[in-house]
Amino acid sequence: MSRRKFVEGAAKGAAAAAILSRLPLRISEEAQTSKPSGLATRPLGKTGFKTTILGLGGAVYPRVERKSALAAVEKGLELGITYYDTARQYGNGKSEEILGTVLAHADQEKLWIATKTLFRSYAKSRDEIAGSLKRLKLKKPLDCIQLHAINDMKTLDTVMSKGGSFQAALEAQKAGLVRFIGFTNHARPEVALEALRRYPFATALVACGVADSYIGDFAARFLPTARKQGVGAIAMKVFGEGRLIGKLDLRKMLHWVLSQPIDVALTGVGSPKEVEENVAHALAFKPMTAQEQALLEAAAKPFGTEDLLWWKRGVK
């Protein structure tokens, strides 16, 4: 499918919707290199892109003042961060619009920009992807579209079936609108492994904070396979979506994640000061010893519960 046909199809789908709406492994120091900015980099799987070990997640942007969110992204660029993640459902497109506004004057060829589709059907996902591209206003193809929250086998079956959202992602890729296809999984490593058996996804964004190791342990049960297959592994929920801040040492939590076989750790920050703090922690990174990791894991055990880690509810 051509770029024009993909966009035209999305436009037709939007028009139809409008009409209907009117009706009733562990990391060694050798595995990473340093950028001129000082932030270390790692290969993002087999994509050919070298990402800084720290990336910025955009879920928080709609929750803070617009000026602060814009300044946070600006600070990320200033300090050399190369990985930027967003999604339409973060503020109903506000996160994408904020990111696109700042990246408009950035050297996008040096950046990795990823968004997501949460819809499960082909038509809705196609329209969602088209809308994301419009809000991001990139000067290049989107680096990665991620099938979002593929947390159980039923969802995986749905998105991968005929008429599922994977078809829309694949068409966007064939049309030259998207370079790579990935997925996200918050809860179940076995589902992420099955996804890789069904298709050679380029990246996987998984919940991989130290407390997550007690429920649905991606570090032990998924990341080694991802590394072996050359899948770009991205960690989210590094600080337990902020719930572990003040309970465990921030730097140690980030260093624990970076000591796992992941390529980049995403942190959601809404101010330049928070970006500076996280970059400082990343600059100080050295792989934790097994003993250091074990001590932090023991300290995190009281917080490895479904009450705190809501994204793991129902996981056995």
Predicted TM-score (pTM) of the model is 0.90
CB distance 184 to 15 below 8 Å: no
Phi/psi for 181 (5° steps) reads -120, 130
User: How far, in whole angstroms, is CA 211 from its chain's centroid?
Assistant: 18
pLDDT tens-digit series, residues 145-190: 999 999 999 999 999 999 999 999 999 999 999 999 999 999 999 9
The answer, yes or no, to whether residue 238 has pLDDT greater than 80, is yes
The answer, yes or no, to whether residue 17 has pLDDT greater than 90, is no
Pick from 270, 305, 312: nearest CA to 56: 270
Residue 238: half-sphere exposure toward Cβ, Cα within 13 Å = 31
Task: Using only the alpha carbons of the chain, give its radius of gyration.
Answer: 19
The answer, yes or no, to whether residue 26 has pLDDT greater than 70, is no
Length of the chain equals: 316
CA distance 313 to 316: 9
pLDDT tens-digit series, residues 260-283: 999 999 999 999 999 999 999 999
The answer, yes or no, to whether residue 83 has pLDDT greater than 60, is yes
Map tokens 């999984």 to a residue. 185
The answer, yes or no, to whether residue 11 has pLDDT greater than 70, is no
Query: Which pLDDT does position 25 carry in this prediction?
Result: 46
Average pLDDT over the chain, rounded to whole?
92
The answer, yes or no, to whether residue 116 has pLDDT greater than 50, is yes
Map tokens 């959202």 to a residue. 165
Mean pLDDT for the stretch of residues 27-33? 57
The answer, yes or no, to whether residue 2 has pLDDT greater than 90, is no
Angle between helices 189-198 and 153-160 (to 10 degrees): 20
Sign of CA dihedral 296, 299, 300, 301: positive
CB distance 230 to 200 below 8 Å: no
The answer, yes or no, to whether residue 13 has pLDDT greater than 80, is no
Exposed (0-12), middle (13-18) or buried (19+): which is 200, by Cβ within 10 Å?
Answer: exposed
Query: Which pLDDT does position 18 carry in this prediction?
Result: 38
Side by side, the strands of the sheet bearing 33-34 are 33-34, 40-43, 50-52
The answer, yes or no, to whether residue 115 has pLDDT greater than 70, is yes
Instruction: List the CATH code of the domain at 44-311.
Output: 3.20.20.100
Q: For residue 148, what are its two tokens?
A: 């979002």
CB distance 271 to 68 below 8 Å: yes
- CB atoms closer than 10 angstroms to residue 5: 11
Q: What residue segments make up the domains of the chain, in order of their start?
A: 44-311
Query: Which pLDDT does position 23 carry in this prediction?
Result: 32
Query: Which pLDDT does position 3 carry in this prediction?
Result: 54
CA distance 261 to 199: 21
pLDDT tens-digit series, residues 214-223: 999 999 999 9
Tell me the percentage of the chain whose pLDDT exceeds 70. 88
Three-state SS string across the chain, please?
CCHHHHHHHHHHHHHHHHHHHCCCCCCCHHHCEECCCCCEEEECCCCCCEEECEEEECCCHHHCCHHHHHHHHHHHHHCCCCEEECCCCCCCCHHHHHHHHHHCCCCHHHCEEEEEECCCEHHHHHHHHHHHHHHHCCCCCEEEEEECCCCCHHHHHHHHCCCEHHHHHHHHHHCCCEEEEEEEECCCHHHHHHHHHHCCCCEEEEECCHHHHHCCCHHHHCHHHHHHHCCEEEEECCCCCCCCECCECHHHHHHHHHCCCCCEEEEECCCHHHHHHHHHHHHCCCCCCHHHHHHHHHHHHHHCCCCCCHHHCCCC
Tell me the percentage of the chain whose pLDDT exceeds 90. 87
Could you tell me which residues are beta bridge partners of residue 115? 145
Mean pLDDT for the stretch of residues 282-309? 97
Query: Which pLDDT does position 28 carry in this prediction?
Result: 52
